[in-house]
């Protein structure tokens, strides 16, 4: 008779995601994963496959969670500038009880040059982030908040690059106040 699973997949996947996020792919061993996830090695393989497959699933989980949170908050924003403020605050301060930085950015830096799957997932995530920023910029341009002197797509590419840089810098000892100043200037440059 087959044993039933004694864990909720998303709960243990979240644990793996946070461990990969904090330590990176290379520094995270299978033993680390089993201990941190609180499951047996056999259960890890049966449910998630090998370490690489688990990592890709953790990347998907991260993207889905962050994307839904950002999209929901943007929809609640009263102005485009308020939406951008939220996004930049999220990039700098992250989520409570989560590692600093961004799993997608960290993974791209660590692995994208030699892992086509990671490159594909990172690039797709970056493209969707740029689209969200473009939608916010178009909203601000239509409402007269932001300059229309530049193409919304080009401005989104620029802001996304700033966001990625901020996510990298949050993993250092650079004061958050400095990062917030960079974010505020980036938003101010869009003013009409």
- The pLDDT tens digits for 26-76 are 999 999 999 999 999 999 999 999 999 999 999 999 999 999 999 999 999
User: Quick check: 71 and 132 in contact, CB under 8 A?
Assistant: yes
Instruction: Could you list the beta-strand ranges (E) of 100-178.
Output: none
CA distance 119 to 93: 25
C-alpha separations of 1 from 33, 61, 95 in Å? 27, 31, 42
Report pLDDT for 96. Answer: 84
What is the pLDDT averaged over residues 104-131? 97
Backbone conformation region of residue 94, classed left if phi is above 0, alpha if psi is from -120 to 50, else beta: left
Reduced to 3 states (helix: H, G, I; strand: E, B; else coil), residue 191 is strand
- The pLDDT tens digits for 164-182 are 999 999 999 999 999 999 9
CA angle 124, 27, 108 (to 5 degrees): 20
Q: Report the predicted TM-score, pTM, of the whole model to 2 decimal places.
A: 0.92
Structure token digits, residue 57: 């699933």
3-state DSSP helix/strand/coil percent for the chain, to nearest 5? Answer: 70, 0, 25
Q: What's the mean pLDDT when you consider all of the chain?
A: 94
């Amino acid at each position: 008779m087959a044993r039933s699973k004694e864990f909720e997949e998303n709960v243990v996947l979240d644990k793996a995601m946070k461990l990969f996020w904090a330590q990176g792919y290379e520094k995270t061993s299978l033993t680390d994963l089993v201990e941190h996830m609180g499951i047996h090695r056999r259960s890890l393989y049966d449910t998630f496959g090998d370490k690489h497959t688990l990592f890709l699933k953790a990347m998907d989980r991260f993207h889905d969670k962050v994307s839904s949170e950002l999209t929901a908050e943007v929809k609640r924003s009263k102005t485009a500038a308020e939406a951008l403020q939220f996004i930049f605050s999220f990039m700098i301060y992250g989520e409570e009880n989560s590692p600093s930085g961004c799993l997608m950015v960290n993974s791209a830096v660590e692995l994208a040059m030699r892992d086509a799957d990671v490159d594909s997932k990172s690039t797709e995530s970056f493209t969707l982030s740029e689209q969200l920023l473009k939608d916010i910029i178009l909203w601000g341009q239509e409402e007269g908040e932001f300059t229309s002197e530049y193409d919304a797509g080009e401005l989104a590419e620029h802001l996304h690059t700033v966001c990625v840089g901020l996510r990298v810098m949050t993993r250092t000892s650079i004061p958050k106040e400095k990062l917030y100043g960079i974010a505020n200037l980036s938003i101010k440059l869009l003013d009409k």
